[in-house]
Structure 1
Amino acid sequence: MKTLTALFAATALTLTAGLAQADVRPDHIEGLLKSGAVMPFEKLNAAAVAKHAGATINDTELDHNNSGVLVYEVDLTDTTGKKFEVKLDAKTGAVLEDKLDT
């Protein structure tokens, strides 16, 4: 019985950890925008492109990080063909990470 309980607890923790890092469901986005939990995507996109003038946005994603903070991830290609990943705080637009995507 103890083995079964331990197995159940380990499975529950694994599933919970996966959910904490999951993409935000599309049907929740409108509510997050209306509540102000996420700033408009146009502003977030502009903040990301400002880090790499003239860059083209390839993909965007809204996620929760390990701390539960909403993070807006933008994949960009700059004018020289280099690819970057810019992570922004989805509420404030502050740049959290700007790295060359290898």
Structure 2
Amino acid sequence: LNGPRFDRLPGHVNFSFPDVEGESLLVLLDLKGIYASSGSACSAGSLEPSHVLTAIGRDKETARGSLRLTLGRENTQEDVDKIIEEVSAIVKKLRNMRAGF
């Protein structure tokens, strides 16, 4: 989890996954119908790591593997459970693929 655990905007969460490339994570999530970003809304499309994440001590590689999700009123607990399940499976898959190289 990037940033404070409790003192944050409701519905916004940002995670970093060491040894996972953020763009690969986003593509695989998209295929599962989960829409996310690897950076802030104002830096969409940038290949540079988040300056905020590097400022709080994340190295560039870890910052590039970040995942930003925003939930709204219409999201359900079922949605959250699906996101957790899919993110966990995809991160495991990407790490296994990386280990094979």
Higher helix share: 2
TM-score tier by shorter-chain length is under 0.3
Larger radius of gyration: 1
Higher strand share: 1
Q: TM-score, normalised by structure 2?
A: 0.26
